[in-house]
Amino acid sequence: MKKYISTIFITALFFSAFSQKWCPAGAEWTYNYTGFNEAGYTKVAFEKDTLINNINCKKLSATQIYSQQNFLGIYSDTLTSTKQPFFTYAQNDTVYFFYGQAFHAVYFLNAQKGDTLQITNPVRSINCGNDSVIRLAVDSSGITQINNEPLRFYMAHPIKSYSGQNIEPASITVIEKLGIYTQDYYNGYMFLMVPFFSCNTALEQTYSLRCYKDDSFNLYQTNPQIACSHLPTSIHNVSSQNLSVRVFPNPATAHINITSPHYDIQKVTLFDLFGKQEETITYNNSKEILVNLSNLLGGVYFVHIHLENGHTLIYKVSKE
C-alpha cells in the first residue's frame, strides 16, 4: 500500500512539474515576423490565470511590432498592432490551446519516434480535404539542453492524404517550455504558437522563435546576434538615388537581372510565398548580376538583395 501511494505521489509530482514548466509566471516569447513588405517581431506574454469552460487556463497576450518597407527599400516608422490572445493549459504531457470554441491538444511531449499524432487546424484549409484534422508522423524525439535544463522535444511531419499533395509546413519541431521552434529568421512557420497546416495554398507571412524567458528561466535567444526587440534598420537618411536598385524583367521566365548603381551586391536570397528559402547566391561585390530561375517552379518569389552598405532590399518577382 505504501509503495502504491508513493507511486501515485511521484506521478502526481511529475505531472505537476510538467504543468509548471509550461507558461509559468513571467513567460514571454518573441517571434521574428516577416511579410511581403513588413518585418519586425511579435511578442506573446503570460497575462493572467483565467477560467474557460470550467477549465483553469492561462491567457497570453500578443502584440506585433513591425515596420513597413516601400518599393525603395525605406522602412516606415514603427507600427504596433494587438493580435488575438491565446488561452492554454498543460496536462499529462500535453499542451492544449483554445480555438474553434473548444480546447484542442496541440503539443505532445510524450511523443516517440513512429507515433502518429492528430491536430485540428485552427483555420480550415479548403485544400486539405474534408476533415480539418491533420495527421502527423513523429520522425524523432529526445532531450535537448537549453540553459542547462533538459527539455523534451519531437519533430514530426504531416501525412499526405494523396500523392502529390503539398502540405506546408513540411515539418514542425516542438520543444518543452518553448513550444513551436525554429531558429531560421526567414524560413519560419506561417503561424505563432498553434500550428496551421496549409495545403497547396500560399501565405505571405512567417514567424520563427527569436527569444524566450520566464521568471525561473534565463533569457534564451535562438540567435544571440539578433536582439529580442530588433527592428529593421531605418534608412530614411539614404537618398532614393542611392537605392535605385532594379530587378527585371518582372514577370520573368528563366532569369532576372539585378543592377545596383551605387552599392555592390554581396548576396541574393530567394524565398517562396511560404518563407521557404529556395536559393542563396553569394557574389564577389558586383553591381550587375544575373540570377538563374530555371530550376524554380512558376509562382511568386521574394528576392532579398543584400548590399555592401548593410541594407537589404526586398522585391516581389513573378516567375512564369
Residue 74's pLDDT is what? Answer: 62
- Rounded to whole angstroms, how far apart are CA atoms 277 and 291? 15
Q: Which of 154, 144, 143, 147 is nearest to 212 (CA)?
A: 147
CB 150 within 8 A of CB 143: yes
Q: What's the order of all strands across the beta sheet hosting 38-52?
A: 102-108, 94-99, 79-91, 55-68, 38-52, 28-34, 206-214, 217-221
Distance from C-alpha of 133 to C-alpha of 115, rounded to nearest angstrom = 16
Distance CA 101, CA 106 (A): 15
Torsion over CA: 72, 184, 45, 233 (sign)? negative
Task: Report the C-alpha gap between 68 and 231 in whole angstroms.
Answer: 10
pLDDT value at residue 17? 54
pLDDT computed for residue 232 by the predictor: 72
Other Cβ atoms closer than 10 A to 299 = 13
Which pLDDT belongs to residue 266?
A: 84
Q: Which residue has the cell 518585418?
A: 39
Distance between CA atoms of 90 and 94, rounded to whole angstroms? Answer: 6
Domains and CATH numbers, the chain: 2-221 (no CATH), 240-319 (2.60.40.1930)
pLDDT in tens, the chain (320 residues): 433 333 344 333 444 455 568 999 999 999 988 776 788 899 999 999 999 999 999 999 999 999 886 655 566 678 899 999 999 999 999 999 999 899 999 999 999 999 999 999 887 665 666 568 889 999 999 999 999 999 999 999 999 877 777 788 888 999 999 999 875 554 567 788 998 887 765 556 778 899 999 999 999 998 887 889 988 754 433 444 445 788 999 888 899 999 988 888 888 888 776 556 677 787 777 889 999 998 888 877 888 888 877 677 778 888 88
Pairing state of beta strands 38-52 and 55-68?
Answer: antiparallel
pLDDT of the residue at 241: 44
